[in-house]
Structure 1
Amino acid sequence: MGQSAGKLTKGDAEKKDNTIPSIIKKYCKEIDDKISQLKLEKKGDGSEQKLEDYELSIFYQEVCRAVQEMNREHGGGTQLRVPDTATLKDAFKNYKEKPGDLPNIIKTIILNMGFEGKGFMNVLYIFAAPITGALVKKGFFPDLVSDNVFIPVITSASVLVLASLNKI
């Protein structure tokens, strides 16, 4: 007994750091690296507008990749939306004005883009129906059916209804 405890902590230490702040930090570095590399490649080209368009497309791409990774790592039923073009253009202008403030700019984008999906609501339905049913049963029909039978039946029925409605 207790011999696997070391293995569990050792395996946890080897896991990648996939928290949202670490993902933001990773993609901020990607944006800075790619834009600085682009500036070195296009230096002396004379096409400032074209360089700005390339920078904007790199910024768009990396923000969308960050959103995609956050959805993959922390997803489930609720997903982050990809920000709209106007939001990204405003964020890019802020980045051009204050390049050192990129993590805060990306955090602002993520906070403003909202969520998509109803994963939380489905879980709420699965658990709320049995709890509500049990409370109603205890209030009106306390001795009609045993709780050991009633709660699993109503839980199964709520899952069946959600599955038939293509909610889960």
Structure 2
Amino acid sequence: MGQTIGKEEKKDIGPIVGKCYDKYFADPNKKWNSAEFYHAICETVEELNKMLGSTQFHVPKSSTLEEAYNKHHNGKDKSLTKDEFQKILQDIILDSGVTGMGIKDILLFIFGIPIVTTFIKHKAAPNSIPNDVFIPAVTSASVFLLSRLNKI
């Protein structure tokens, strides 16, 4: 599954995938229905999101999960292997997508806040601080805030 998420995000997801596999799929005698299987996958996605610190992955559609299961699970009468589980997770994560909330924060803070504060400054006190000083100061403050919040 690539064992890491993203180029800048170097967190190893292997232990989480292994832990969830052991928790839900290690019993070879367990008979699964689609609702239980979907619940186990959703719990795994939730654990991955907790590890990454915020919601990164969408919960998969049931049709996507069913297609990935049918594609990767070779022996229909035997239990799911760890390799098959990783391939199923890879397919559903690639199909469901990543929310990537970080880029929204960066665009909002670096571009949105300086623009809004400039408009407010022009309405409240247009000549109090020159724009040549005000806009870089607000942008720097936004970048500082992003760094303090560990967004960049």
Q: In the TM superposition, what is the alpha-carbon distance from 1:131 to its structure 2 partner?
A: 8.9
RMSD: 3.4
Equivalent in the alignment of 1:73: 51
CA distance in 1, matches of 2:49, 2:56: 6
- More contact order relative to length (CA 8 Å, sep ≥ 6): 2
* 146 and 63 in structure 1: CA distance in 2 versus 1, 3 angstrom threshold: same
Q: What TM-score, normalized by structure 1, do the two folds share?
A: 0.51
Does the alignment pair 1:94 with 2:71? yes
- SS of aligned partner of 1:79: coil
- For structure 2, the 5+ residue unaligned runs are 1-10, 116-129, 143-152
* Structure 1 residue corresponding to 2:89, chosen from 106, 114, 122: 106
Q: What TM-score, normalized by structure 2, do the two folds share?
A: 0.56
AA of the residue aligned to 2:40: E
- For structure 1, the 5+ residue unaligned runs are 1-17, 39-50, 133-143, 158-168
Whichever of the two has the greater Rg, that structure is 1
CA distance in 1, matches of 2:95, 2:14: 16
What pairs with 1:110-129 in structure 2 (closer than 5 Å)? 110-116=93-99, 118-128=101-111
AA of the residue aligned to 2:110: F
Percent identity, aligned pairs only, is 23
Whether the 8 Å CA contact 2:110–2:139 is kept in 1: the answer is no
Report how many residues are paired: 113
Equivalent in the alignment of 2:127: none
Whether the 8 Å CA contact 1:71–1:79 is kept in 2: the answer is yes
Higher normalized helix content (fraction of residues)? 1
